[in-house]
Structure formats: C-alpha cells, structure tokens
Amino acid sequence: MGHGLPEVALRPRFGRTMGAAATALVMAAGMAACGAGGNASSSDGAETVTVLVEGGGKAELEPVAEAFTEETGTKVSLVELPYDGLYDRLSSEFSSGSVSFDVAALDAIWLTGFADGVEPLDDMFTDEVQADLFPALVEEAQVDGTFVGMPVWTNAEILFYRTDLFEDPKQQAAFEKEYGYPLAPPTDWQQFQDMAAFFTQDTDGDGTTDLYGTDVKGAVETEWLAHVAQAGSPGMVLDADGNVIIDNAEHLAALDFYTEAVADAPEGASQVDWAAAQNLFNQGQVAMTKFWAHAYPQIPEDSKVKGKVGAAPMIAGDAGIGAVPGNWYLSIPKAGDNKELAQEFIQFAYDHNDLSIDSALGLAARKSAFEKYADQPGYEHFEALIATLEGPATMPRPANAKWQQIVDTALIPMLQKAVEPGADNQALLDEAKAQIEEILG
C-alpha cells in the first residue's frame, strides 16, 4: 500500500555523524556574541519569530503559531526543512556564529551535539512544569545538568493488535486450550511470544502460512532498545558514565527475545523497517505489531484492518513497561537577537501544548494534554501511550554526540545479522562493542 510514516517519527538515518556538531559548537559558543538572529519584524512592521522545523513536524506547530499570532500580534514564520536538511542548516549556522532563526525544533538525538550553541532554559523548568512532563523527557532535556530544550511533542511504540482476531470466540477458545490462560492483549514477553506463535496460522487451509503473529524489524534499532530497557539494563548500549555495556546480560536477553520472533514473522526480517512493518499490519498479514502510537488513527480507509485495531501499552520485561520515546524539543540559539521573543513563543507553546494534538501527527508532550483527549473518540491509543511513557523502564537514548554513528555503523548491521538463521547473538554483541568503542575512541 505504501502508507509510510511521517518523517518526524521515522528518524531517518543519514551518512554523517553527530560528532561534527559537537566540534562545531565548541567554536560556536565563543562566537555567539557576534551572531545575528532572525528578522525581528516583517515587511508590515509586525514582530516576527522565525522557527526552524522538520517537515513532518510543521503541522504540530501550526495551530500553536496561529494562536500565538492571534493573542500577541507577533507573526510566526515556520521554516520547513527535510530532516537531514534541518540538521545540516543548524550545524552550518551554529558553527558560523550567525543564525537566521529565533527558535529551532531539535530531534532528541541532536541535543548533546548542539548544546553549546543554545540558551539554557532552566528558569522555564519549574517544579510544576516538570511534573506535567514524562520523566524521560525531563531527563533528556538536560545536557550536563542544564535544560537546553523544551519538549514540544513525544511519541513511543505501543502495541497494536487485531481486535477481530483477539475477540473471535473460536480463537479465544483455541488459545486458552493450548496455553491455559485467556486470550487478551499481551502484557509481558512470555505472553507476547505465546500469542505470536499462536497467531502464525494457515487460515485458508492451503498448507501455507498466511497470517503471522507479529513482525521483526531488523532494519531499525529502536524496538530492540526498548526491550533492552525492559530487561533492566542500566542503560542502552552505554551506561551513565559512557562505558559500552552492549554485551551485558540484559542486552543479550533482549536480543534473544527479539530474534526468537523471527519464526512467527514474515520472511525478510533483515530488511523490515518502519514503513514495511506498517504495511504488513495494514495489509492484515500480522496479528500484532509494536509501533509508534501516532499511527493508530492513520490506518488508511482501504486497509483490511481498518476499524479492527486495538491499542495497548508496550509490553513489559523484568523491569516493567519500557519504550524509547521519540521526542522533539524547542531551543533558542545563543547567537540569536530575539531571545526574549523566542522564549515567549516557547512558553506559549508549552502553555498551549494541547493545540498540537489537533494536527496531522496528533501528538503533544505534556501529560495533561494527552489526558485531555484520552477519553475522546479517535484517541483511544492515548491511554496506552501515557502508560508506556510513564513505564518504569522507559528511558531516552544515550546523550552522546556520536549516537547516530553508533546506530548506523554498529547497531543496525548487528540486528540484520542477528535475525538471520544460526546467528550467535553474544558474539554479535561482542563485535558491536568493539566497533562502538572504536567509534567513541
């Protein structure tokens, strides 16, 4: 069908490292005073705040921008760029010490690399503000103890399941007879494995499997990392001190769990990314998928599963429910000229964060914003998303400027090998550790 995810949720990989950003911003910090920000006024004399934003996230800020202009009279210029184009422009302007914008929407994995080039926002993070943000967002917004970005929207993988299968009396009876407990959306690893195996079926009796229990995404790393967190690892790939721990018992347990599902998933797992997994589910080929929550209301009308999908929290491991949030933050460049206006816009965006839910992506960052909509039709997935983001094992990616290089060079190639028959998972983790230590120097 080709119904792909918005770019903001996919976090596309690109062939450059975040290390360049860190190097550039050491220089940028010293040059900030000589920079020039975005235009303070438009041609008609009205003040203007210029905001750089990734293409998939522009829709999230449009309702906020319109309300800000209506209330304050200040115009908002949303400058839309593709994901890697946004990164390139930010890196270039920060390193030059002269910026053309007042506010930038930053992907979470950029915060560490760009931290030296943006203003501290500590005064905005009051106890009240922090209490209304999910713990992982508060943690990730800080670099070396300083808040450098205000969360503007977040996302996480939750469980999508076929209600037409899970609520079928024949399937329910057959499952309970085989496994000894009622069929319901799985809450932990063992239940997920049981149900993935059970729903791998030949439904038309032609001797060929035509329904699979789930998918296995070998071409993206986020889902495996969620299982690492669920297993109770003290960090994903790196610990709090930056030591490489990818070879610990929790990473191995997560990799074993992840790859065991290959037997109950369509072929070609090594090439399955987010778009492919979404298509498999929308085409009715799998009974369950762990997927970004925003996609729940976006199931196309012509999908075989339209109106037959339920949402549940991400499954739990020994450490409980856990996921890897997909967060974006608003930051102010040190080199900007309109810092007060920029901070006013960011505060307004926080205060009116619920406006972003009424957009194509339908996401926010504040707990209260999600809770406001959770009991409304069309937002049934919010309860699952809230539970997942509040999960005890939910944690952000490591705050390391070379994280994207680690993902591209070590993690994804490792996963693609791990989903192949006969893989030695511990050996693959050991190999990845050596690669990551070399990247980190």
Please give the full DSSP string across 5-70, using - where no structure is assigned.
PPHHHH----SS-THHHHHHHHHHHHHGGG---S-SB-TTS-BEEEEEEEGGGHHHHHHHHHHHHH
Pairing of strands 288-292, 142-143: unpaired
Q: CB of 132 within 8 A of CB of 368?
A: yes
Judgement on whether residues 67 and 169 belong to the same structural domain of the protein: no
Picking from 438, 427, 437, the residue whose alpha carbon sits closest to that of residue 252 is 427
| C-alpha dist (Å) from residue 347 to 125, 144, 168, 343 | 10, 22, 48, 6
* CA–CA dist 172, 390 (Å, integer): 30
User: What HEC string does 115-171 produce?
Assistant: HHHECCCHHHCCHHHHHCECHHHHHHCEECCEECCEEEECCCEEEEEEHHHHCCHHH
Domain-terminating residue out of 365, 392, 427 = 365
pLDDT at 44: 54
For residue 395, tell me if it sits in a domain: no
**Residue recorded with tokens 């304050």:** 72
Element (H, E) at 325: none
Shared domain for 213 and 282, answered yes or no, is yes
* Whether residues 161 and 283 fall in one domain: yes
User: Torsion-angle region of residue 301: left (phi > 0), alpha (psi -120 to 50) or beta?
Assistant: alpha
| Alpha-carbon span 410 to 222, nearest angstrom | 13
Structure tokens at 122: 């500590």
Question: Does 379 fall in a domain?
Answer: no
- Are residues 191 and 112 part of one domain? no
Considering only CA atoms, which of 257, 254, 247, 229 is closest in space to residue 432? 247
96 and 168 inside one domain: no
- Output the pTM of the full model: 0.90
Sign of CA dihedral 266, 270, 271, 272: positive
**pLDDT at residue 19, rounded to an integer:** 35
Residue 388, in any domain of the structure: no
pLDDT computed for residue 56 by the predictor: 81
Within a domain: residue 382?
no
C-alpha span between 397 and 386 (Å, rounded): 19
What was the pLDDT predicted at 57? Answer: 87
- 279 and 355: one domain? no
If one counts the domains in the chain, the total is 2
Asked if the structure places residue 383 within a domain, the reply is: no
CATH number at residue 89: 3.40.190.10
User: In terms of Cα–Cα distance, which of 390, 398, 212 is closest to 314?
Assistant: 390
Q: Are residues 126 and 223 in the same domain?
A: no
pLDDT at site 39: 52
DSSP-derived 3-state class of residue 316: strand
pLDDT lower than 50: segments of the chain: 1-37, 42-43
pLDDT, residue 18, reads 31
Whether 4 and 282 have beta carbons less than 8 Å apart is answered as no
Q: Which domain holds residue 60?
A: 7-155+326-365
Do 128 and 142 lie in a common domain? yes
User: Within this chain, do residues 304 and 246 fall inside the same structural domain, yes or no?
Assistant: yes
On whether residue 384 sits in a domain, the answer given is: no
Residue 149 and residue 220 in one domain: no
Would residue 374 count as lying in a domain? no
439, two tokens? 């990247």
Same domain, 300 and 345: no
**224 and 192 together in one domain:** yes
CA distances from 223 to 159, 315, 415 (A): 11, 11, 11
> Rounded distance, CA 211 to CA 202, Å?
7
In a domain, 55, yes or no: yes
